[in-house]
């Protein structure tokens, strides 16, 4: 008892401090109720695993006119960046995107949106162009301003 009487101010301040921490946690839970959930929610249920060598497969199918291929998955979107040589025309670039799309299997095409970025080392009036294909579409949709 003697210890409690001597240190009652410290004990009281510790109790108040812990009560304040508990209140702060409750306020945080009220203001941010879904903080612990996944960023994409349940949109990635049934996710199809992609081929680990997708970049190499696309590069192998596109033998001429392509310098570099890079792919990145973000949620349900596959971003494919194809760096082209300077002598490639816009129509050839669009055909390269169709060939790259053929590198994906049917299951991957039904699950993912695919976005193509066709770029050159130096930006021109025709490049870069962007194409987009959703799972329900038959064709790739291209940017209108190019």
Number of H helices, E strands in the chain: 5, 5
Q: Is 86 exposed, middle or buried (0-12, 13-18, 19+ CB in 10 A)?
A: exposed
- Mean pLDDT over 91-119 rounds to 84
pLDDT in tens, 118-144: 888 787 777 888 989 888 888 888 887
Q: Please report which confidence band the pLDDT of residue 115 belongs to, taking 50, 70 and 90 as the band edges.
A: very high
Instruction: Specify the DSSP class assigned to residue 31.
Output: H
Q: How many CB atoms lie within 10 A of CB 130?
A: 17
Average model confidence (pLDDT) for the chain? Answer: 82
Residues of the chain with pLDDT > 70, as a percent, come to: 88
**Greater confidence, 57 or 111?**
111
Q: Which of 87, 50, 103 is CA-nearest to residue 116?
A: 103
**Greater confidence, 126 or 22?**
22
Report the pLDDT value the prediction gives residue 33, as an integer from 0 to 100.
77
pLDDT in tens, 59-100: 777 777 788 888 888 878 888 888 888 888 888 888 888 888
Q: What is the pTM of this model?
A: 0.66
């Amino acid at each position: 008892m003697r210890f409690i009487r001597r240190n009652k101010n410290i004990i009281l301040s510790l109790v108040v401090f812990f009560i304040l921490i508990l209140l702060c946690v409750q306020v945080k839970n009220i203001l941010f109720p879904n903080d612990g959930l996944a960023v994409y929610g349940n949109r990635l249920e049934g996710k199809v695993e992609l081929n680990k060598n997708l970049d190499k497969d696309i590069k192998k199918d596109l033998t001429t006119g392509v310098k570099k291929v890079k792919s990145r998955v973000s949620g349900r979107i596959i971003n494919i960046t194809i760096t082209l040589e300077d002598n490639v025309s816009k129509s050839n670039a669009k055909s390269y995107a169709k060939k790259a799309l053929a590198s994906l299997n049917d299951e991957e095409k039904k699950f993912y949106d695919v976005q193509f970025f066709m770029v050159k080392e130096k930006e021109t009036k025709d490049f870069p162009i962007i194409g987009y294909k959703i799972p329900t579409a038959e064709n790739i949709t291209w940017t209108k301003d190019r």
